[in-house]
Structure 1
Amino acid sequence: MNSRPPVTPPESPSVTPPESPTSPERLKKQRTASLVLYIGLVLLALWVVRDFIAVAAWASVLAIALWPLLRKIEGHGWFRGRTTLIATVLTLAIALLVVLPVGIGIAQALREAHDMTDWFKTVQENGIALPDFVQHLPFGVQQVSAWWQANLAQPLRDSAAMKGLHSTTVMTLGRHFGARAAHAVMVFAFMLVTLFVIFQAGPRLSGSLSTGMRRGFGEAGAQLLQRMATAVRGTVSGLVVVGLGEGALLGVAYAVTGLPHVALLALITAIAAMLPFCAPLTFGLAALWLLSQGSVAAAIGLAVFGSVVVFVAEHFVRPVLIGNSTRLPFLLVLFGILGGAETFGLLGIFIGPALMTVLMVLWTDLVQ
């Protein structure tokens, strides 16, 4: 009897069981994919609204600066619960603070336009006479007098400078200035709308930001957000206080030197002084006007006095005011203001100290 060896069935290929939808590996992949998707959508949204990021940033800076006032008004009995009315009043106040000085300046310029037109016609026919102060200069009298006689003392109707006023370059510059002015008006209008929405949201927006920071970055992240807001608020306060102080001091100097329209010049100087190192433009032009009128001593005195005021205010008073509110060292405040302005422009004046606050917090956490 023949015995046959047992036949073994062929081995079937091993099949990996499907991954469970609730397995840790599957959940990890889903979280990674969701994070990539969210980041991509956020970047896409930022790219879509890229032209309005600066508008939202300006509105946020003003809202942070006025937030204590907003909360105080909300606590008043008559305004309690009337968020729309509060937002409207604060937004209109900001609009008036900007529009009113500009309107006063335009009205004053229109009143002076007739005199300027007559002066322009006169210099076209007769030229510009040599000012008396040139003869009292300590050096260069002959050179300045010769240049003035050759270029400005003669009738300017046929001069190259007058012909250039009608060139296509000047017209192009005029159109460019008009377009920039229209763009600035639109940006300001959108900023006011954004500011109104932020004010109207009120405490709900503040609570949402704090909750989001705590969930995403813990209690340390929420405290960092509050310190950055304090830095922005302190920067705005320092700019306004120092600007008003410079405007008041230089207004007294304008009155002493006999300049016309002292109140308007002081207001323009105060607004310009709220921006770092912009006050010299105003008192410098005023000193040049005095110089053209022959008041050499008054022009030199105004220039020297204004330079001292601006130097002390920009290098000592303003950094100290901002540093006390943010508890930042003097040097970090100065670097934040100047570096922020150089990197981000006018908006960087407020962003710089806030970033220096982050740097200081990180350094403190590192050394402790």
Structure 2
Amino acid sequence: MVTRPPAASPEPDSPSRQKMQRVASAVLYAGLVLLALWIIRDFLPAVGWACVIAIALWPLLHKIEDHTWLRGRTTWIAAILTLAIALLVVLPVALGIGQASHEAHDLLEWFKGVQENGIAMPGIVQRLPFGAQQVTAWWQANLAQPLRESPAMKGLHGEAVMTFGRHFGARAVRGLMVFGFMLVTLFVIFQAGPRLSGALLKGAQRAFGENGAQLLDRMAAAVRGTVAGLVVVGIGEGALLGLAYEVAGVPHAALLGLVTAVAAMLPFCAPLVFCGSAFWLFAQGAVAWAIGLVVFGFIVVFIAEHFVRPVIIGNSTRLPFLLVLFGILGGAETFGLLGLFIGPALMTVLMVLWTDWVR
């Protein structure tokens, strides 16, 4: 009986053994990275927001660090920039809460009066060019009577309101937690400074070559362009419409302008604010001012959304308008507010890959 000699195992330094080791190492590293991401999954939104803000402010950070008096004071620079970001978020929110607390008493009195007497029909309804009779009949049947026993008022005291309150409180606490961890992460990123950007570029070059480093630069440019396009254009829309509120006689024009600026940072959300203000003017009988506010608001939004914002974002990323729009809307639908900035960056990757493929 003839026995075959056992198959020789690969030598320790043979090419096949080295290839197996590289594959095993890649699988191990990928598994460890996925495990780490799963462990910190609740903190990923905070890290994402911190990265977006840091990328947007990175050129400013370099200019500050190059100043003679501030050279080498990375901790102080990081603390000041982080505090400035915190104040930019906290101060408008505090202003809105303070203004709402001043109006809470009047709103409560109005609510009690509605329960006892109903809502008086505005005189403008009688002067509508069409549909005045139908609107009057509906108003008399649903709103003009005391609303204490109406189904809507009963629903305000039901379990649904308690559930909404609990969910709102939980979301508020979670939002505060994300905001706090975002500030901590942002401080650490600013403190790391150029060392962090150098390490990221070096890692991208080692992993993907020179093209990987260039792609990382273009993704950062996409994020900066998106921040500029959303934030700067939103502030511009809020300023113009805030002036329009003041001219039209809408109360709390400055606060409404701030709300409009925040809403304008989200695509196509500003009309919700100025149309609501126009409806208030219409209910007060100022029909011409209401129509003028709506027309002016839509002109501002049309120019900002279709010309200014795509130019700012598209020029920094060299993306076509359609990809910019898809990136913003698709990113927001997939990742929430953070997706507004992630979407265009991913569209930039897609555009770079397509350009390299067709060369």
User: Scaled by the length of structure 2, what TM-score is found?
Assistant: 0.95
Alignment of 1:312-351 (within 5 A): 312-351=303-342
The alpha carbon displacement at 1:88 in A equals 0.8
Out of 145, 166, 179, the position equivalent to 2:136 is 145
Mean CA deviation greater in 333-342 or 178-187? 333-342
1:303-347 CA distance string (max 9 Å, x none): 222122112211221001111122222222222222222232222
Alignment correspondent of 1:131: 122
Deviation at 1:12, TM superposition (A): 7.1
Partner of 2:20: 29
Please point out which of 240, 244, 257 is paired with 1:266.
Answer: 257
Aligned in 2, Cα 1:15/1:176: closer, same or farther, shift over 3 Å?
Answer: closer
Per-residue CA distance 1:163-194 (angstroms, 9 max, x = gap) = 22111111111111111111111111111111
1:55 maps to which of 46, 54, 74: 46
Paired residue secondary structure (1:147): helix
Which structure: larger Rg?
Answer: 1
CA deviation profile, 1:117-165 (whole Å, cap 9, x unmatched): 2211222222111101101112211111111112211122222222221
CA distance in 2, matches of 1:272, 1:95: 19
Q: Cα–Cα, structure 1 residues 11 and 55, in superposed 2: closer, same or farther, change >3 Å? A: same
User: How many angstroms does 1:16 deviate by?
Assistant: 4.6
Q: Flag the 1:11–1:247 CA change in 2: closer, same or farther, 3 A.
A: closer
RMSD: 1.6
Residue 183 (structure 1) aligned with residue 174 (structure 2): yes
Q: Percent identity?
A: 73
Residue number in structure 2 paired with 1:5: none
Q: State the SS of the aligned residue for 1:96.
A: helix
Matched, 1:207 2:187: no
Cross-structure match for 2:147: 156
Mapping for residues 193-342 of structure 1, pairs under 5 Å: 193-342=184-333
Aligned partner of 2:345 among 354, 358, 365 = 354
Q: Distance in 1 between matches of 2:279 and 2:350?
A: 43
Distance 1:117 1:13, change over 3 A: closer
Equivalent AA in structure 2 for residue 330 of structure 1: F
Residues 251 and 263, structure 1, Cα contact 8 Å, conserved in 2: yes
Assess if the C-alpha contact under 8 Å between 1:87 and 1:199 holds in 2: yes
Amino acid in the other structure paired with 1:366? W
* Number of equivalenced pairs: 359
For 1:7, the equivalent position in structure 2 comes to none
Counterpart code for 2:288 = A
CA shift, 1:18, in A, is: 5.0
Match of 1:4 in 2: none
Distance 1:320 1:11, change over 3 A: closer
AA partner of residue 25 (structure 2):
S
Structure 2: gaps (5+ residues)? none
Q: CA offsets per residue over residues 8-49 of structure 1, 9 Å max, x none?
A: xx9775355554322222222222222211111111111111
Task: Tell me how far apart the structure 2 counterparts of residues 82 and 67 of structure 1 sit (CA, whole Å).
Answer: 16
Gaps of 5+ in 1: 1-9
Structure 2: distance between partners of 1:101 and 1:307: 25
Q: What is residue 88 of structure 2 aligned with on the other side?
A: 97
Question: Residue 40 of structure 2 aligns to which amino acid in structure 1?
Answer: V
Secondary structure at the counterpart of residue 71 of structure 2: coil
Q: Classify 1:121/1:26 alpha carbon distance in 2 versus 1 (closer, same or farther; 3 Å).
A: same
